[in-house]
Structure 1
Amino acid sequence: MTRTVEERGTAEATLRVLLTGDRERDCLVHLQHVPPRPAVHGTWPAWADPDLVAGYRGRGVELPWQHQTEAAEHAWSGRHVVLATATGSGKSLPAWLAAVTATRSARRTGRLSDVARRPTTLYLSPTKALAADQLHGLQELLAAAGIRDVRATTVDGDTGLDERDWARAHADVVLSNPDFLHFSLLPNHRRWQRLLRGLRFVVVDECHAYRGVMGAHVALVLRRLLRLADHYGAQPTAILASATTGDPAGTAARLLGVPVDDVAPVTADGSPAGRRTVALWQPPLADGVEDDLVEGGEDEDTIAGTPDAPRRSTLAEVADLLSDLVRARRRTLAFVRSRLGAEVIADHARHRLSPGWRAAGSRDTDTADAEDGTDAAPAPGRDVVAAYRGGYLPEERRELEQRLRSGDLLALASTNALELGVDIAGLDAVLIAGWPGTRVSLWQQVGRAGRAGAEGLAVLVASDDPLDSYLLRHPEAIFDAGVEATAFDPGNPYVLAPHLCAAAGELPLTERDLGRFGLPDGALLDELVARGLLRRRGVCWYWNYDRPETPQSLTDLRGGTDVVVPVVEEETGAVVGTVDGGRADAVVHEGAIYTHQGRTYRVTSYRDDVALVVAERPPYRTRARSERNVRVLGVKDSVAWGPVTWHVGAIEVTSRVVGYDRRRLPGLDLIGSYPLDLPERVLRTTAVWWTVEAEALVDAGIGPGETPGALHAAEHASIGLLPLIATCDRWDIGGLSTALHADTFMPTVFVYDGYPGGAGFAERGYAAATSWVRATRDAVASCPCRDGCPSCVQSPKCGNGNNPLSKRGAGVVLDLLLAHAPR
């Protein structure tokens, strides 16, 4: 264990709650202290509405922070601005200061032109929860200021028709999300023309959340919005709020479709922050008993453990830590990647807080409290722990948020829905179940602990994944590296084409619109004409209204292109859950064991995009086996490293699930293999791939018999480490390796984006190939296992059952690549 500074303060007291038994020796790998940040005050702008300033002062904001003043001045002057500062730094203040002041200033003039085109503001957030939270805060601010002539409301898919009519006619500030814009507001823009005609500000909150395919979709929705505003005579200023991220101005400009010089970045954070302690935590060795409570909760956890040193699942460990913190009455958030994981952690923690339950080796609460210097208290009841995720009713989410703020609820196990700017202050600790995908997300989650200048503790509990294992051994990759720039590609034709159709349905497209959508010419539009989606009349392109579908239905902003497959209980007809169409063949094929909310079902039928299941508890789990082929369609760029050549370009992936294995619990030993007859799936996307001369492999000590396993293991490890380089998740990407590829005629390893057309991840890997290979080699070399494990070269999503794999061979291949990498 490494400590960087002397332990002291309340964060250490909270940490001591967790360091029971052998945990300090076995689990605490690294401890990092983030120093406090002093406050730097700004001034209230001279143009700011005096009543609003009085309202802020009445709520304790005597002066704004310097970054708030700077951002507000840019927005008021009409320049797009992106505010990229830490969690809890008050990024909404510049937006509301400018928006409310503009609305009230126009009303005071009394001019007919101002009344007819009174300034309006459109606020966009990634989640309904955040929009509702922002509305609540804005209404409290207006009430404190005594302002009754500024009307604000939320409008989203849950909003009734009467409320939408009121918003169209009267609202000065509309809080919504990109999905509502795409499916409702923009297609019906004539009904919203009062809002669009007066549009003064567009506020894009938590814009760092728009990455990958969703980022490309949102960028195109924003360009459609600005196009319609321009049509109605408005030139709105964009105010973007982001977590601390790399290249915030470039990200904002790409979202808006404007030159980067048109966006002012504000990155110097003037808000105070208390000292934060971040612990890197490795789950202990498994004892074969505790993990049964969460068996099947996560795909990764069902194969947790290595042949050499199996460890407890991440979910079980986080649930234990959460229950310990609740016993010590520490207010805590536990972040987990999946909805099911949130439910599992909350349920497991509640189980451990049941009367009479005591973990082996745990201390009594009274003893822990006495050592921490706090008042002893009886163990809290089960009702102080809850889960928080998408799919809950809005009123349920609001109640949970309020109970956590008030202290009535001590702990929430949450998806990243609470990573974003929902205002919850005063938390003692944050637990993070596995690497959250990016440093941006990590610091957003860490920032939830000890907000409002107080100290806080964050614990990153590593999962059994190559990237998590790498980060445990290389904490400098977290704490000494800058945060990532957000990766997305609005020019992806698979994303761009349906948005061009939607834009043509809103207003006919002209050559003037080509630049707004990043088109060099009208070739893509003419292709859409040839496919019968658009019609061309003179200099304009129109949506083909003879088609049965609407143009908005051609795409889903959340990145999905496949149908959603419902999982239906055969006996009752109840929908147990849903599976993305792209994963359905592997997850709900006939004979598969499907797990939901801790219950297991056997799939009896999968046809017509519906899976029928019966409730069973068999002593085994299933894992699909698949075949995959890659065809190179074109090379965009390439570079030679001696006998190794790197490429980036377009490929076609043809895949098919060919069978499945039954594996006995708990060790997942193979029972038998069974064939399946399922159709092929075709994906055209972007890939990065490298080829190596066979002679160079032989010279390095990799013979023909070991080559397939060496390349396969190197491919798995590379996929696991790409999220360190690109803002992606391992489930966003795929790969293939072969000792002799039909297009390259050489040993080849492909890593590709798992979305049609690509999402920018493979291109980022190509641009940072040296860093990517070095991190991959270090992860494999430093793993203590003998033959390969989930922490280095095994993959939870391998269609070939992780066979063949050669950890030794992967190390040799990666060393070969690095030996020829440019310095």
Structure 2
Amino acid sequence: MSASHDPVAGTGSIVEYLAALESSRKFGPQVVCHRVFPATAQRLAAADPALSPATLELLRTRGIDRLYTHQAEAIGHLLAGNHVVVATPTASGKSMIFNLPVLDGIGAGSGDHALYLYPLKALAQDQLRVVEDLAGQLRVGPADSGGEIAAIYDGDSSSYQRRRIRDHLPPILMTNPDMLHLSILPYHGNWSTLFKGLRYVVIDEIHTYRGVFGSHMAWVIRRLKRIAENYGAAPRFVLLSATIGNAGAFARQLIDAEVEAVSVSGAPQAEKHFLFLNPWDNAATIASQLLEAALKRGLRTIVYTKSRRMTELIHLWTAPRLGPLQGKLSSYRAGFLPEERREIEQRLNCGSLLGVVSTSALELGIDIGDLDLCILVGYPGSIMASWQRGGRVGRQQRTSAIIMIAQEDALDQHFMRQPEDFFSRAPESAVVNPLNESILHRHLHCAAAELPLAAAEPLLQNPDVTAAVDALVRSATLLQDADGRFWHASRKYPQRHVNLRGGGLQLALINCDSGEIFGEVDSGRALKECHPGAVYIHRATSWLVEDLDLVAREVTCRRQTPPYYTRPISGKETEILQVLDQKTAFGCRVSFGRLKVTEKVTGYQRLNNATRRVIATMPLDLPEQIIETEGLWLEIAEDLQRRLETRQLHFMGAIHALEHAMISLFPLLVLCDRNDIGGISCPRHPQTPWAAVFIYDGHDGGIGLAAEAYRNIDELLTQTERTIRLCSCDNGCPSCVHSPKCGSGNRPIDKGACRALLEMILAGNQLQASVKSLAAPEARAGDEPVAAENVGAVGRSSGERLGIGALPRHYGVFDLETIRSAAEVGGWNRCERMGISVAVVWDSVLGECVTYLEHEIDGLVEHLFALDLVVGFNSRRFDYRVLNGYSPRDFSRLPTLDLLEEVSNHLGYRLSLDRLAEHTLGEKKSADGLQALKWYREGRIDLIAQYCRKDVEITRDLLHFALEKGYLLFQNKAAKTVRLPLALEKIIGAESAKGDQGQISG
């Protein structure tokens, strides 16, 4: 529909546009709510904060006689030496809160430095302009940094620029968490000037640091604090956010310190209109029509969508209808190349773009100029995000409007039916989980690589952290020094293997005709959106995916416009790893714990663009995705299933619908996107007595979302029943029980059965006698135990024989020397040709060594097979293969403890016997293999026997040391003597048992 034929089209102000919209016969009846928020007056501080006269004079020259109340309050906290978090609406002057104290300190010549952290590069570019403007008026700029007050150090900086910034460090360094993590903390010695003078750390847009990204960020900050303390600095943290429900508590979790919270804004606000529109047509179609009309009226407009695909479609549909204005509209989303995003941001800021269609990528405070209208295509998923996106319009005290167009989504329709619920809701609480096991382990490794972890440091006083350190020691990720006071990293730069954003590897999108890279996509998304045969849209252009190469990190595409779009089909399985808590909700047993979820994309559907009907289903063979996460599960007792089936209601359709509906309402309880949540409904799960509905965090390790929902499960069930009951559809729809992300295409789904099930649950009618109190899920035959309860510091279980007592009565330590070298026989793969000059066995019963020469090898073999355990160093891969040249016996049947094999399994690389002996026992080998070969040629068998006997005694002593202490010592690449933990008792037990079985069967 052309906007010229609609009453919304025309010219004028935003108020006239809204009047035309509501008076339109087409659009007016679709407006279900229009709320006007009147302008509010400013509230000024009673007195100036304790800043220098020069800084206060700067404010006067800018026409600021008094700061807003929230600005003065926050600055007062900072000047008093406290950390502060400010959570006030967009455009409330938050940048003044940190820039004024920072520049004030720099102007005083104190040598202070400040670190500004932004989640997006574009935000740093904006703030650089602000700081340079303020500093120019204050005439602040030290000579040793070339007069620069600030510099941006990010991935777009050239190597020359990065080196110049390090060599001539300006007072303010602007960067992002990724660069801090990868390029500054690991090389802190190059940044000693920064850390010695670090007085302020500014962290902007902290509401973006939730979930996986936030959990990583919490650890980056902890690592930053450790390094600053190492250089004698104790910086004050300034945290800034859009309005969130738990600003103080969230900030405390993020920086692990007490924080003063400022959340009441004193800034004025212009009149703002908020409209809810429940469309008769598709939401994206309506958004395109409203956008067209707004642009033709000259209204600067931003449209927010919930998916990359919809962003591109709205741009694709709208641009051709704009005539000469076509070039003034653009799409914007993640996946664009950096230069594309910078160009769009600049065009918005200077006004050459009139409209933009964006995902959440433009939600943050990037300066994109003054906008009049914000169109939300679907509820953004949280109250906070709704106001944050709406806050992008109406700056400079201009009247503005937000129009939220509902989609067929349960939450959207919930608010369309109950708009007061939207406006009465406080912003959600942000969730972060620094103790996420996967994230905790990775960052402890990074922290130890930056500075060895010390037993006495505050970080290690947390029992969860010390438990993680113990686990990392057992896996040889951390290496404890000889006296046990410090832990060192096993790798030099583990930071390179930690992705803060949690998005997986980035794959390049390649035009197969030209070879040009036109975008990028993360590996997890690629399996669902960029599989072979998928239709992918980028900047209003359709591409057909020809090949997905995860190894080469490439997606090759051909530009095509097929008459269909694609939707993936996937299947999932879940395994309960550990039950952490259980309770009852309305008579249902609800559990919370650790889950293993396996998902596999098995195919995809082609759907007609016009009718949206499935026209073909195609199979795919793609790799599985496996995560270990946290989740809750609701058990549906057998009695409820029987009662539903007696009424001839579809039980699987009921629990499948319940899963979808609960996930769709999840964001009512906790700040998240529904894509952060996964679910599985099982009519019979092997680890639960009855059917179960699982809901879990869709990120490895869990991020605290399911934990929050578990705490509020009663409210979630109540809201789910209400949403399904109030939905006017007959058989289920996207407003209640259908999910656009369902891997099985929303089959089977039975809304009526789900409603009946929920009514039974809320009535508390489950048979209480059926609810058994289980401490752990029922295990399947052959399963490993769900949780290992009695595990000691080095992995020893309480039932094992410990220390030297773990050894059998009759064991031997064995080594041999050869006649020929590997080079002489044609390589190490021909060990059986190398011959034996001398072999030595230390026998535990005899208490002494027995020496065998080449003509006595039969006696050696019999001796070895008479032992309950043979201990060696590289015996499996070398000694036994040499023996194969003399005997047909199967040496793989020997009960064997190969110390080199255990060292290699633990560390991931091999250590020499000499290296272990030197640092563990203070001894060195008497010779080496080359010397032994030389002695053989000289006929000095006595010297070879003496050398071999010494090696056997060293191996024996290392074995005894490891059993008594639980570790061996070696020197790592950083020349630190560290511990190599070895829990040998379990291996000894298993091998000895193998020897017993061999004797019985023989």
**TM-score range relative to shorter protein:** 0.7 to 0.9
Give the counterpart of 1:131 among 106, 121, 124.
124
The answer to whether residue 555 in structure 2 is matched with residue 555 in structure 1 is no
The CA deviation at 1:217 is: 0.8
2:351–2:369 contact (8 Å) kept in structure 1: no
- Structure 1's unaligned 5+ residue stretches are 1-8, 108-113, 286-311, 356-380
The answer to whether residue 277 in structure 2 is matched with residue 281 in structure 1 is yes
Q: Secondary structure at the match of 1:743?
A: coil
Report 1:153-552 matches (<5 A). Answer: 153-168=151-166, 169-258=168-257, 262-285=258-281, 312=282, 314-339=283-308, 341-354=310-323, 381-390=325-334, 400-401=344-345, 403-424=347-368, 426-513=370-457, 515=459, 518-520=462-464, 522-537=466-481, 538-545=484-491, 550-552=493-495
The CA deviation at 1:503 is: 0.8
1:470–1:778 contact (8 Å) kept in structure 2: no
Distance 1:671 1:334 in 2: 31
1:48–1:101 contact (8 Å) kept in structure 2: yes
The answer to whether residue 580 in structure 2 is matched with residue 633 in structure 1 is no
| Inter-CA distance 574–187: structure 2 relative to 1 (3 Å threshold) | same
The CA deviation at 1:653 is: 1.0
1:532–1:544 contact (8 Å) kept in structure 2: yes
1:569–1:613 contact (8 Å) kept in structure 2: yes
| Inter-CA distance 608–581: structure 2 relative to 1 (3 Å threshold) | closer
- Structure 2's unaligned 5+ residue stretches are 1-11, 143-147, 767-1002
Give the counterpart of 1:587 among 526, 529, 546.
529
Report 1:590-629 matches (<5 A). Answer: 590-609=532-551, 610-629=554-573
Distance 1:224 1:248 in 2: 22
What amino acid is aligned across from residue 78 of structure 1 in structure 2? Answer: G
Distance 1:104 1:390 in 2: 39
The CA deviation at 1:453 is: 3.2
Distance 1:605 1:804 in 2: 32
The CA deviation at 1:556 is: 0.8
Distance 1:738 1:493 in 2: 27
1:84–1:245 contact (8 Å) kept in structure 2: yes
Distance 1:428 1:233 in 2: 49
What amino acid is aligned across from residue 460 of structure 1 in structure 2? Answer: M
Q: Secondary structure at the match of 2:459?
A: coil
Distance 1:692 1:219 in 2: 38
Residues 474-483 or 516-525, more deviating: 516-525
What amino acid is aligned across from residue 297 of structure 2 in structure 1? Answer: A
Report 1:636-675 matches (<5 A). Answer: 636-675=580-619
| Inter-CA distance 130–17: structure 2 relative to 1 (3 Å threshold) | farther
The CA deviation at 1:56 is: 2.5
What amino acid is aligned across from residue 183 of structure 2 in structure 1? Answer: S
1:732-779 deviation line (CA, Å, top 9, x unaligned): 111100222111121210111111111111111111222222222232
| Inter-CA distance 511–766: structure 2 relative to 1 (3 Å threshold) | same
Report 1:26-105 matches (<5 A). Answer: 26-42=29-45, 45=48, 47-105=50-108
Q: Secondary structure at the match of 2:453?
A: coil
1:729 — aligned with what?
Answer: 673
Distance 2:613 2:339 in 1: 45
| Inter-CA distance 521–211: structure 2 relative to 1 (3 Å threshold) | closer
1:123–1:203 contact (8 Å) kept in structure 2: yes
2:113–2:197 contact (8 Å) kept in structure 1: yes
2:880 — aligned with what?
Answer: none
1:375-408 deviation line (CA, Å, top 9, x unaligned): xxxxxx3333333445667676566445544544
| Inter-CA distance 205–58: structure 2 relative to 1 (3 Å threshold) | same
Distance 1:703 1:494 in 2: 46
The CA deviation at 1:525 is: 1.8
| Inter-CA distance 747–398: structure 2 relative to 1 (3 Å threshold) | closer
2:640–2:757 contact (8 Å) kept in structure 1: no
1:305 — aligned with what?
Answer: none
The CA deviation at 1:430 is: 1.3
Percent of aligned pairs with the same amino acid: 35
Q: Secondary structure at the match of 2:430?
A: coil
| Inter-CA distance 788–434: structure 2 relative to 1 (3 Å threshold) | same
The CA deviation at 1:87 is: 0.9
Q: How many residue pairs are counted as aligned between the two chains?
A: 745
Distance 1:676 1:411 in 2: 39
What amino acid is aligned across from residue 151 of structure 1 in structure 2? Answer: I
1:643–1:692 contact (8 Å) kept in structure 2: no
2:865 — aligned with what?
Answer: none
1:59–1:144 contact (8 Å) kept in structure 2: no
Distance 1:320 1:689 in 2: 43
Distance 2:355 2:461 in 1: 45
2:725–2:755 contact (8 Å) kept in structure 1: yes
1:573 — aligned with what?
Answer: 515
What amino acid is aligned across from residue 496 of structure 2 in structure 1? Answer: S
Q: Secondary structure at the match of 1:468?
A: helix
Q: Secondary structure at the match of 2:114?
A: strand
The CA deviation at 1:49 is: 2.5
- Name the larger-Rg structure: 2
Distance 2:203 2:655 in 1: 43
1:604–1:614 contact (8 Å) kept in structure 2: yes
The CA deviation at 1:694 is: 2.2
The CA deviation at 1:651 is: 0.7
What amino acid is aligned across from residue 165 of structure 1 in structure 2? Answer: R
Distance 1:18 1:348 in 2: 20
Q: TM-score, normalised by structure 2?
A: 0.71
Q: Secondary structure at the match of 1:324?
A: helix
Residues 586-595 or 458-467, more deviating: 586-595
2:658 — aligned with what?
Answer: 714
Q: Secondary structure at the match of 2:631?
A: strand
Q: Secondary structure at the match of 1:170?
A: coil
1:14–1:457 contact (8 Å) kept in structure 2: no
Q: TM-score, normalised by structure 1?
A: 0.85
The CA deviation at 1:608 is: 4.6
Q: Secondary structure at the match of 2:626?
A: strand
Distance 1:134 1:657 in 2: 43
| Inter-CA distance 20–342: structure 2 relative to 1 (3 Å threshold) | farther
What amino acid is aligned across from residue 119 of structure 1 in structure 2? Answer: D
Distance 2:211 2:688 in 1: 28
1:633–1:650 contact (8 Å) kept in structure 2: yes
The CA deviation at 1:418 is: 3.1
Residues 53-62 or 610-619, more deviating: 610-619
| Inter-CA distance 327–567: structure 2 relative to 1 (3 Å threshold) | closer
2:312–2:540 contact (8 Å) kept in structure 1: no
Q: Secondary structure at the match of 1:121?
A: strand
1:442-468 deviation line (CA, Å, top 9, x unaligned): 111122222233322111122222211
Q: CA RMSD in A?
A: 2.6
Distance 1:682 1:699 in 2: 36
2:729 — aligned with what?
Answer: 785
